[in-house]
Amino acid sequence: MTRLLLIGPPGAGKGTQAARLAEAYVIPAISTGDIFRSNVRNHTELGAKAKAYMDAGDNVPDSLTNALIRDRLAEADCDSGFLLDGYPRTTDQVRELDEFLAGHGASLDVVVELVADPDVVVERLRKRAREHGRSDDDETVVRHRLEVYRDQTAPLVGIYDSRGVLAKIDGLGEIDDVTTRITAALADRGIVLPDAASR
């Protein structure tokens, strides 16, 4: 049972690392951003409610996000653990997640903070905007997302640090190197890759 959280500013590479870690540790990667985007694409009621916030680079209201994640974590594939990417990102969401996990006698094992310089993330997102055209990667929206991260999400790092579950990882450099840094930090905390465990 491995319960992980990836936290870091937009553009730090959370999505990329989440996909790799999910495969390596055989747990589902759960990205609230991806879930919201797929709801927008499929024109669901949730998507209609979330879209304006996302396009503006604001957090979707906690009530919507919390309800969504409760449903998602209750699905059977989370029985073996999960990797959260982009949730929680407010103190209210931390409270909600704590409550949900406590109800299952559980808590997060490790919170991985991907640290990246703001200038670097702006440049990465500029590139992503050119290549993929994500509507919230427009330059002014990106700046706003970084402010929202600084104001609402960065304080969560201190909360998890005080609980002794934080691993700070340098998010710069080659994608493979960042993955290696994360798996090493997890191994230090007793979370080993499944194929290593069975050897």
Minimum distance of ligand ADP from residue 171's CB (angstroms): 12
Please give the C-alpha separations between residue 49 and each of 58, 62, 109, 176, in angstroms, as whole numbers. Answer: 13, 12, 32, 37
Nearest-angstrom CA–CA distance, 76 and 111: 22
Residue type, 178: V
Q: With CB under 6 A, what is the number of residues at the site for ligand ADP?
A: 18
Nearer to ligand ADP by Cβ, of 2 and 65: the residue is 65
Token pair, residue 71, equals 């449903």
100 forms part of the interface with ligand ADP (CB under 6 A):
no
36 binds ligand ADP (CB under 6 A): yes
Q: How far is the CB of 52 from ligand ADP (least distance, A)?
A: 9
On whether the CB atoms of residues 181 and 114 are closer than 8 A, the answer is no
- 14 labelled catalytic: yes
Per-residue binding string, ligand ADP, 43-72, x by CB under 6 A, is: ----------xx--xxxx----x-------
Look up residue 4 and give its amino acid.
Answer: L
The residues with which 117 forms a beta bridge, in sequence order, are: none
- Residue appearing with tokens 């985007």: 37
Tell me which H or E stretch contains 45.
helix 45-56
At closest approach, how far in Å is the CB of 20 from ligand ADP?
A: 17
- By CB under 6 A, name the binding residues for ligand ADP: 10, 31-33, 36, 53-54, 57-60, 65, 86-87, 89, 93, 136, 145
List residues with catalytic annotation: 14, 89, 126, 134, 145
